[in-house]
Amino acid sequence: MRNIDYFDRQVRLHPDRTLLVADGQSLTYGEVHDLTHRLAAALLDAGLAHQEAVAVMSPNHPGVLVAMLSLWRAGATWIPVNTRNALSDNVAYLNYVRASVLFYHSHYADDARTVQAAVPTIRLMVCIDAADGDNPSQDQFMQAAGSPPVADWGDPTGNGEDLTAIIATGGTTGPAKGVRVLNRSWGTMLETIGNVMAVDTRPVFLATAPLTHAAGPFTMAGIAMGATIVVLPQFDADAVMDAIEHHRVTHTFLPPTAVYTMLAHPRVRDVDYSSLKYFLLAGSACAPEKLRQMVEIFGPCMCQSYGQTEFHLVATWLSPQDVAAAAAGDHPERLASCGRQSYSVRVELMDDDGNLLGADEVGEIVGRGGIVGGGYFEMPEVSAETWAHGWHHTGDVGRRDADGFYYIVDRKKDMIVTGGFNVFCTEVEAAVTELPGILECAAIGIPDDKWGEAVTALVVAGPGAPDAATIIAHCKDRIGSVKAPKHVFFKDALPRTAVGKFDKKTMRAQYWAGQDRGVA
């Protein structure tokens, strides 16, 4: 089905239920339903064509969710703009997808004017929260349309091959590729999340990670479940803890690094987290020892999923029950797992020749099924390469144990080859972050005359952290001398991509300067 169909179903079931809570205001499902008809009608009156690209550039704000639902009701394609990107990158991306409408928050008014001047396809600008010069506010823009119902453009199959969104990949090399997110793949993702995160009571979702990234689909899954969505403008540990306790939040999503900040907060143990049923970690690997601490503090609600923009969010699922059992000592190795394949996909491991591998063999993670998107926007050759041998190729290296649990070993390009041996960065990072006082660790290879590449740990340390010699000795004991870092460098912070992942290319750059390549 289309995303708007999932929303409308909940409107019929719960018109008076609170949908949005933000900025001291609340809106019911019925009230948001009326707003989406008015805003969609205004877009259509302004000449919006079916499947045109409508961009949204804003911090978290209730108007963002209204804009998203409205553009889908009008038949448009959502283009989320990651405001942590360089403005030049966002301009290039909006030109690539030929965006015709830009919804923006006044916080980004200057950037919006730059975009308007640099993206000739944009013919309509709407400021979400306030009028901005000649550009109307969202409220002003929809006033002219009155309150007409918008005609339903759906077909009997739910327009499965139409676009829900074109979402930029978060890579660190070259221009972003736009992933074609289809109604069929988005709908399968929503239904999968609803299946694995079901509750017996009214769900309350907390949205604090950016709605322009993984929190967007996560929040829409909540709406498909009839949830109340509590929106925070950005991640703040105090605000998150207060919101969980005050609103009795049942579901939330954060990347592991944000939760590490919560773990270090002085009052993290003083908050009532008993309402939490699903505290989802996604976007990057979580250190097993940190996950154990999370279960101790937040309770048996921690869960993980693995996916990609191309392979939407829940390709694998590690349930709260599995995490809690592992934290208690039953298969503790599963704290490093991303779980088993979800029911909507088939996940396998493949070698470089296209052969599927068995348990405990290391290979590229590949998948096929409902949550695989529609390839890359106007990049047929890249799409075909990603779908070689009849499978979607993730570019991630992993293994599967005898019970079907998957373990992400590394990105192919982040593998360190030292002395002829392959060392997977996540093994090094997990060993280092076991130590007290280690806040973050990224493993890279740096040039070495003897080894080709020397395993190197870049570490962000907190109070009580050990010195470099102790870290190296610990790793030798835990993972062996080949995998143990030869060097440990302490950093104030580690560079990240616009979507919050470690930027290994930037980390390696200073060490490989002057070399004819970036890895051995």
DSSP string, 295-315: HHHH-TTEEEEE-BTTBBS-S
Pairwise CA distance, residues 219 & 102, whole Å: 21
Q: Based on the fold, state whether residues 260 and 385 are members of the same structural domain.
A: yes
pLDDT at 414 over 80: no
What does the pLDDT read at residue 255?
86
Rg (CA), the chain: 23
| Pick from 393, 295, 379, 394: nearest CA to 335 | 295
Sheet holding 316-318, edge to edge: 25-28, 18-22, 228-231, 204-207, 251-254, 278-281, 302-306, 316-318, 340-341
Res 23: pLDDT: 85
pLDDT tens for 270-286 read 999 999 999 999 877 78
Give a three-class secondary structure readout of 124-170: EEEECCCCECCECEHHHHHHCCCCCCCCCCCCCCCCCCCEEEEEECC
The pLDDT of residue 227 is above 60: yes
pLDDT in tens, 87-107: 888 999 999 999 999 999 999
263 in a domain, yes or no?
A: yes
Q: What is the pLDDT of residue 214?
A: 82
Asked if residue 39 has pLDDT above 50, the reply is yes
Indicate whether 518 belongs to any domain.
Answer: no
Q: Determine the pLDDT at residue 174.
A: 53
Residue 388 sits in the same domain as residue 240: yes
Residue 57 token pair: 């550039």
Convert the pLDDT of each residue in 117-157 to its tens digit: 999 999 999 999 999 999 999 999 998 776 678 999 999 99
Q: What is the pLDDT of residues 419-449, one digit of tens each?
A: 877 788 988 999 999 999 999 999 999 998 7
Average pLDDT, the chain: 93
C-alpha 256/C-alpha 488 separation (Å) is 22
190 φ, ψ (degrees, to nearest 5): -60, -45
pLDDT for the residue numbered 10: 98
Helices 425-433 & 468-479, crossing angle to 10 degrees? 120
Q: Do 260 and 342 lie in a common domain?
A: yes
Does 519 fall in a domain?
no
Q: Which of 21-30, 324-333, 338-347, 443-452 is predicted least confidently? A: 443-452
**Residues 384 and 421 both lie in one domain:** no
pLDDT digits (tens, 9 = 90+) for 473-498: 999 999 988 899 999 999 999 998 87
Is 220 domain-assigned? no
Q: Please check whether residue 9 lies inside any domain of the structure.
A: no
Token digits of residue 120: 């000739």
**Which sign does the torsion angle of CA 385, 387, 390, 394 carry?**
positive
Phi, psi of 472 (to 5 degrees): -60, -45
Domain assignment of residue 502, given as a range: 415-512
Residue 331 sits in a domain whose CATH number is: 3.40.50.12780
Centre a 10 Å sphere on the Cβ of residue 442 and count the other Cβ atoms it contains: 22
Question: Cα(146)–Cα(54) distance, rounded to whole angstroms?
Answer: 21
| Residue 104 shares a structural domain with residue 252 | no
For the chain, helix, strand, coil in percent to 5 are 35, 25, 40
pLDDT exceeds 50 at position 38: yes
Contact 54, 71 (CB under 8 A): yes
Q: Are residues 254 and 388 in the same domain?
A: yes
Distances in whole angstroms, Cα of residue 40 to Cα of each of 54, 144, 146, 346? 12, 12, 11, 37
Distance CA 11, CA 33 (A): 7
Give residue 59's identity as a one-letter amino acid code. P
CATH number of the structural domain spanning residue 478: 3.30.300.30
**H or E stretch covering 363:** strand 363-369
**Pairwise CA distance, residues 494 & 504, whole Å:** 9
Residues 47 and 301: their CA atoms lie apart, in Å, by: 46
Q: Are residues 65 and 110 in the same domain?
A: yes
Residues 326 and 264 in one domain: yes
Clarify whether residues 364 and 455 are in a common domain: no
Q: Quick one: 405 and 438 in the same domain?
A: no
The residue among 170, 185, 200 that closes a domain is: 185
pLDDT at 172: 42
CATH code at 88?
3.40.50.980
Q: Is residue 127 part of a domain?
A: yes
Assigned domain for 205 exists = no
Domain boundary among 185, 218, 252: 185
User: Is 406 within 8 Å of 362 (Cβ atoms)?
Assistant: no
Number of domains in the chain: 3
From CA 443, how far away is CA 507, in angstroms rounded? 9
- Report yes or no: 166 and 178 within 8 Å, Cβ to Cβ: yes
331-387 per-position pLDDT tens digit: 999 999 999 999 999 999 999 999 999 999 999 999 999 999 999 999 999 999 999
Together in a domain, 433 and 405:
no
pLDDT score of 182: 98
pLDDT band per the 50, 70, 90 thresholds, residue 173: very low
Same domain, 406 and 420: no
Beta bridge partners of residue 368, listed in sequence order: 346
Domain boundary among 166, 185, 204: 185
